[in-house]
Amino acid sequence: MYTNPVTKKRHRSWRILHEEIGNGLSDPRIGGFSEIIGWGHAGNDWVPAWQIIKLFDRALEEEYVDLDRKGRGTTLNHDLYAYDPSQGVAVIQARQYYKRSAAHLGATRKTYFLVGRNEITGAYFRHPVGSQAVRSACRKSTHPTRADVVQAVQCWMWGVSAKQLAKSIRQGDILLVPEREPKPARIVPGLTLAMDSHAIIADEIRENGRIYALNPSMIHRKNQHAPVERLDGWFSIRQAKTAPAWNFAERIGD
């Protein structure tokens, strides 16, 4: 069961929970570093961003403050940069502050990641993404929850346009993108991607800069994602990029 932090209703469905939250969010308040501080909400005065972050806390390292009287030590906290209720995912920044000595001015380490849950097992994932992609999309965003920033981050992950993303089929971190027939290239007899998890079955598989498959289907050998039934036509097979991450925000899940 999942509790809506706004209405306090409990839901069995992760999807319905986020749809209900997203329906009333408006008038976002943005902080000095482009983070979302919170929103107004129909029937409620204020929805702080930490309530949304808390929905994903099983995919986050525990926050802490470990400083001595002279301010030496480390802290870890999270900020929300985008939220897409329709997908039940968010873009979060993990920020570690550290100060080595009394004379040290202090410094920070940051990692941005896309976070959510796998649709079959419900396991949480955390996928580090490029900071520049997040920052650039935040500057252009017009959506109250910044769902358009989530879209921009996903475009960065797979190297596609927004139009291509909308027409593509996803299974975990593998995206099948509709394409024209590729030029003749080396024929690949079979294909398994992403730590031998995603098995591609197709009438023909070619490798020509990218990997292309004709009439592909795809199964996930760990059973974390629904199978992709046979598709018609040519598709490029793209595995999501992963940005470098600090050890408090490394990739987890598939």
Encoding tokens for residue 18? 């986020």
- Could you tell me the pTM of the whole model? 0.90
| pLDDT score at 204 | 87
pLDDT tens digits, 44-58: 678 999 999 999 999
Contacts for 139 with CB less than 8 Å, ≥ 6 apart:
34
| pLDDT score at 195 | 46
pLDDT > 90 fraction of the chain, expressed in percent and rounded: 62
CA angle 84, 87, 88 (to 5 degrees): 75
The parts of the chain modelled with pLDDT lower than 50 are 194-195
pLDDT tens digits, 84-138: 999 999 999 999 999 988 888 889 999 999 999 987 788 899 999 999 999 999 9
| pLDDT score at 226 | 75
